[in-house]
Amino acid sequence: MRAYFFDNLPGDQRLPHDSSRSVDAETLNKIKVEFWHIPVEGHEAKLDEIAKERGYRNRDVITVSKEGLGGEYEEKIKAFYKEHIHEDEEIRYILSGGGFFDVRQAPTDEWIRIAVSSGDLLVIPAGIYHRFTVDERNMSRTTRLFKDEPKWSAIYRGDESDTNPHRINYLKSIAVAA
């Protein structure tokens, strides 16, 4: 996993968009983004431990690729890349391939790009603005963890998301006035 500020230049979302301004673990910690690297071989025990510790009872595996999603591929990667929040934290473990999670740093509202690949586990807190895209390999096979039934429910950025209790609680948790 590698984190840096997004360059905000136009171009394919699947490109690195590296501003050459690195982001350290302390900065990610301040915005409540957590991460681990767990080798894929034998990862199940560690993933089970983290799921139990965080109260996650369900999981699934999603393959985001042209082959896996067929005609829905372009539509899906555009939907995942549209800025949004969730009411639950988002936990993703990359089995193969890779991609980029972009998270908004509060209060600056700058994008931080987190490059993930096989073995990376990322926890994105409820209420943080973020988005996802595959990288140039156009494939990410990912285990998703869920507290309840597997679902992906996004609240896209706007008035509804800005006043969402999970967004407000997130801002309070990082000591930013809502």
Residue 3 lies in a domain: no
56-98 per-position pLDDT tens digit: 999 999 999 999 899 999 999 999 999 999 999 999 999 999 9
Q: Report if residue 4 sits inside a domain.
A: no
Q: Does residue 42 lie in a domain region?
A: yes
Decide: 136 and 15 in contact? Cβ < 8 Å.
yes
Three-class DSSP category at 167: helix
List the binding residues for Fe(2+).
Answer: 84, 86, 90, 130
| pLDDT band for position 178 (cuts 50, 70, 90) | low
What's the domain count of the chain?
1
Note the pTM of the prediction, 2 decimals: 0.95
Domain CATH number, residue 26 = 2.60.120.10
Q: Which segments are annotated as binding site for Ni(2+)?
A: 84, 86, 90, 130
**Region at 97 (left for phi over 0; alpha for psi -120 to 50; beta for the rest):** left
Residues belonging to the binding site are: 84, 86, 90, 130
Would you say residue 7 lies in a domain? no
Q: What is the mean pLDDT of residues 23-33?
A: 97
